[in-house]
Amino acid sequence: MTEILVVGELINSTRKAVKAALEAKDASVIRRLAREQVEAGADIIDVNTATSMEHEVDDMKWVIGLIHDEVGNVRLSIDSPSAEAMASGLELCQGRPLINSINNDPRGRAFIDIVKRFDGDIIGLPMGGKVGVPRTVEERLDEVDIMLSTLDDAGVDPSRLYIDSIVMTIGSNQEQGRIVIESVREIKKRYGSRGVKTSVGLSNISFGLPRRSLINQAFLAMLLEAGLDMALIDPRDVGMISTMRAAEAIVGTDAGCLRYIKHVRKLAG
């Protein structure tokens, strides 16, 4: 067992401040978000410029350049619904990239070509094959089977794959919490021997609820116990990082609780 990977989610063009920075070409906002996330402990920085529409590719390149200039060769997550933007982003990555994301929709074949062309880890959304958005654990697992079969055919190593179990808010459907936890547990059990890992975009769980960080933290602890390998979060949320370090100490992935103790010292200092 290894420590969970933290993907910093903040450089995302659906966030108002980032969208404005992209429009105004305000490098300082991007540089600050990159630095803050790395300093807060992010292992990978997500880059999403999708709302820039026809400027997505240019914005992607500009942001990647800024991040590498600001914090060196940190790992990047290239997050785009456009295969063109994805490829142009991946070309500029200095560390091993994270391809965010592929799914089973037949219209997304270009992404299979991308994961063949570029090495790096892959976030896979278990959807778009037999069903659109999966409702149950079983539908998610069926979609994982489809994805693994596609990747096998393409000669892509399944150990590059992090399955994102698609978190939806418990505010509208309360079964979603248990479904995602059970999906993570089952994916590790069924596909762990092939090296398949798990990821979540965690904060969706609390959308529409008050004091979201309380829900997010409890959910993170549960997911980590279920075997989560990677989480897209705001790494500046000290409560989230504290929960992660505590959870790792409990499940034993932080041998001797050393990382936890170091974190607590940093909190105090």
Closest approach of a copy of itself to the CB of residue 1, in Å: 10
Instruction: Tell me: does residue 269 bind a copy of itself (CB under 8 A).
Output: no
- Contacts (Cβ under 8 Å, ≥6 apart) of 269: none
Site string for a copy of itself, 116-155 (x = CB under 8 A): ----------------------------------------
- The CA distances from residue 187 to 175, 179, 228, 229, in Å, are 18, 12, 10, 11
For the CA atoms of 236, 72, 114, 188, the dihedral, rounded to the nearest 10 degrees, stands at -50
Q: Strands, E, within the chain: which ranges?
A: 5-8, 44-47, 75-79, 98-102, 121-124, 161-164, 197-201, 230-233
* Choice from 53, 117, 261, 266 touching a copy of itself (CB under 8 A): 261
168 forms part of the interface with a copy of itself (CB under 8 A): no
Identify which of residues 17 and 264 has a Cβ nearer to a copy of itself in the complex: 264
Report in angstroms how near the CB of residue 165 gets to a copy of itself at its nearest.
Answer: 14
The rounded distance, in Å, linking the Cα atoms of 126 and 7 is 19
The yes or no reply on residue 20 touching a copy of itself (CB under 8 A) is no
Residues within the interface to a copy of itself (CB under 8 A): 170-171, 174-175, 177-178, 181, 205, 209-211, 214-215, 217-219, 221-222, 224-226, 242-243, 245-247, 249-252, 255-257, 260-261, 264-265, 267
